[in-house]
Amino acid sequence: MSDLSEHLVRYGVPFAPDLVERAAGSRVTTRDGAEVLDFTSGQMSSVLGHSHPDVVETVGRAVATLDHLHSGMLSPPLLEFAAALAGTLPAPLSKVLLVSTGAESNEAALKMAKLATGRYEVVSFDRSWHGMTSGAAAATFSAGRRGYGPPIPGNLALPTPDAYRSPFRRADGSHDWGTELDVGFELIDRQSAGSLAACLVEPVLSSGGIIELPLGYLARLREKCDERGMLLILDEAQTGVGRTGTMYAFERDGVAPDLLTLSKTLGAGLPVAAVVTSPEIEQTCHERGFLFYTTHVSDPLAASVAHTVLQVVTRDRLAERARRLGEAMTPRLIELRDRHEQVGDVRGRGLLQGIELVADKVSRTPNLALNHELTAECLRRGLHVNIVQLPGLGGVVRMAPPLTITDDDLHLGLDILADALEVTAGTGGLTPGARSR
């Protein structure tokens, strides 16, 4: 491995032992010819699978005709994409800024929120991940905060509503997320310097451990923001564009944000991102001199790709497909939970789901050894999954296969996961039995 990374900067994740030479559909192929079923859609992005023919055709055509322009120039692909994106969203979300990455879209959204409100404080979850650039990193509490000097002032943490591990409980033992949210904002109000500008959250925290906001939470959060004059920013980098069974995850709750950020899934694996907001917020920001003038803002190539992704997801009804496949996936993961003492929880929605690994169900002690053993065993058997490891938690196995994955490949991946668990964890003595589809 040392020769492979000889000239590379290491950036926080161990490199896989084999070089990947090509990818198509739901599989990647290594240099030695081994096929690996991709249950992470690349970096949780390739919702259409790898090398989707519509995207390949679009990229080829765009590169040959209109790929990059001066940032002050507009193009038909940009206008067509912006109109198409606005058409998938509820009013008043209709003003689009096209950029390149998730961190960049969150930077732009935060700058707009601060400029529009005239304030600077930002609230995000204590297990948040919103990007590695300065503003997004300051709103990221799950990792990367140590060793780089002070983050941008004014970032405050809100408790993540984790139904499995939260200490906030009702008399019947169920998760009391309402009290948790109230207490969280009581602490926010005490810490605030009186300049609350925005709350930036994911509808399903992915890097935070596949934590789905309880039904009703987003509406209460919206009320908390409105009471304080804050703007609500939803980061749907991983949940947007069909992944959770609806076009956008916030649709389940019927609560629209003031600003929406999209990235990973919007480009289906290519570097595309966007911010969407209301005409009122855009007008205020424009009047106050909003500046986000970057090299690739409004690029026609990125616009062409994103427009194609929206067209394919709509045409092939992939959000509905994600919902159907998710409904097939959940009972199989629940079966693993019931079978193995080391599988503590199953959670997620659509084709973004995960299982939390623990030493046992009673103690819920994090099982760090099993994390590495399971992912290595899955990869050895031809399945790539991703483990989220945060302090105080068990390892969460994240699964986000392409929305285009076949039924057979979905169940093949789950079969491999089940077999790998048998080898690394054993049955745990609960309710052993044959796997079913």
Active site residues: 129, 202, 235, 238, 264, 398
Judged by average pLDDT, the poorest of 59-73, 115-129, 380-394 is 380-394
CA distances from 157 to 139, 154, 428 (A): 8, 10, 37
- Residue 43 — pLDDT band, cuts 50, 70, 90? very high
- Token pair for 221: 């959060």
What whole-number distance in Å separates Cα of residue 166 and Cα of residue 177? 8
| Residue matched to tokens 């983050």 | 151
Nearest partner of 310 among 275, 351, 262, judged by Cα: 262
Nearest partner of 420 among 37, 14, 27, 45, judged by Cα: 37
Judge whether residue 390 has pLDDT over 70: no
Question: pLDDT digit string (tens) for 49-68?
Answer: 999 999 999 999 999 999 99
Distance in Å from the first CA to the final CA of the chain: 39
Question: pLDDT digit string (tens) for 205-254?
Answer: 999 999 999 999 999 999 999 999 999 999 999 999 999 999 999 999 99
| Residue matched to tokens 């000889």 | 6
CA distances from 86 to 96, 138, 275 (A): 8, 29, 11
DSSP 31-61: TTS-EEEETTHHHHT-TT-BT-HHHHHHHHH
Residue 150 contacts by C-beta under 8 Å, 6 or more apart in sequence?
none
* Domains of the chain from N-terminus onward: 20-52+317-424 (3.90.1150.10), 54-315 (3.40.640.10)
